[in-house]
Every structure is written in C-alpha cells, then in structure tokens.
C-alpha cells in the first residue's frame, strides 16, 4: 500500500528541496543525493505508484506518456545519449539492489563511477 509520507512524495509536494532537471504535468526529474556516477538522475511520476509494476499496470495513458516525455527531456538536459544505465528497484529484498524509497522512480545514470558506486560493487562481489 502506497505511503504518501515518502521522501519523493514530499519533493513532489514541494515540502523538501531537490535539484530539479525537468518537470511536466505528470512527472519530474531531479539529481540523486548520493550519486553512483557523475550523472545520476531520478525520474518520478507525480502519481502515487509504489513501484514500476504498479505504474505500468495502473497509470493512465496520459501519465505514461508524460513520464516518458520527462525521461527523454531529462536525458537530453543532462547530456545522456548512447552510454548509460537505467534501473528500477522494487521491494525490500530484491536480488541485486533493494528499493529504499517506495514511490516509483527510474535511475538514469551515466559518466564516471563515484567512489560510493565502486564500494557498492565491491560489496556485491563479496556477497553470495
């Protein structure tokens, strides 16, 4: 069940600040506070969807179109083209990375890895 007290819901409502990249009626994007690479942006729908599956199942055609428009404009705005990663985590016990904010978001990542990213990768290699 969606909890509207999550940090991205607060950013959407303007209750806490973020470093915004792009906004439209249905979605917005902003820089991740703990970047894994030089360019690490989160693309978030304004609607209340806990994860990517909820969004894909339940968001209207207009919300989905608005989200993808925001995604494309974000990539253009931060200069991402050709070499990048996109991922979405879901749940507290996902196989690779756990979700920590329960409002659907895509991570859009490019450029040099940060030391935080290298530490995470090392930690993953040590786990079963």
What CA–CA distance (Å, rounded) separates 74 from 27? 11
7 binds ligand AMP (CB under 6 A): yes
With CB under 6 A as the contact rule, the residue among 29, 51, 74, 89 that binds ligand AMP is: 89
Site residues for ligand AMP, 29-68, by CB under 6 A, read: 30, 32-34, 42
Backbone angles phi, psi at 79, to 5 degrees: 75, 40
Q: Which CB, 30 or 71, lies closer to ligand AMP?
A: 30
What's the Cα-to-Cα distance from 31 to each of 2, 17, 28, 57, rounded to whole Å? 23, 11, 11, 26
Q: List, in order, residues 6 or more apart from 71 with CB less than 8 Å away.
A: 27, 29, 43, 106, 108
Nearest-approach distance from CB 125 to ligand AMP, in angstroms: 19
Q: Which CB, 19 or 62, lies closer to ligand AMP?
A: 19
Q: Which CB, 26 or 102, lies closer to ligand AMP?
A: 102
């Amino acid at each position: 069940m969606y909890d509207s007290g999550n940090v991205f819901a607060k950013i959407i409502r303007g209750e806490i600040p973020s470093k915004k990249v792009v906004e439209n009626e249905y979605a917005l994007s902003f820089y991740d506070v703990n970047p894994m690479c030089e360019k690490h942006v989160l693309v978030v729908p304004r609607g209340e969807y806990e994860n990517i599956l909820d969004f894909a199942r339940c968001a209207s055609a207009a919300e989905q179109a608005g989200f993808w428009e925001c995604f494309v404009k974000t990539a253009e705005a931060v200069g991402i083209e050709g070499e990048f990663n996109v991922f979405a985590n879901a749940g507290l016990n996902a196989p690779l990375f756990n979700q920590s904010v329960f409002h659907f978001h895509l991570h859009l990542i490019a450029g040099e890895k940060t030391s935080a990213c290298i530490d995470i990768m090392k930690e993953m290699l040590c786990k079963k």
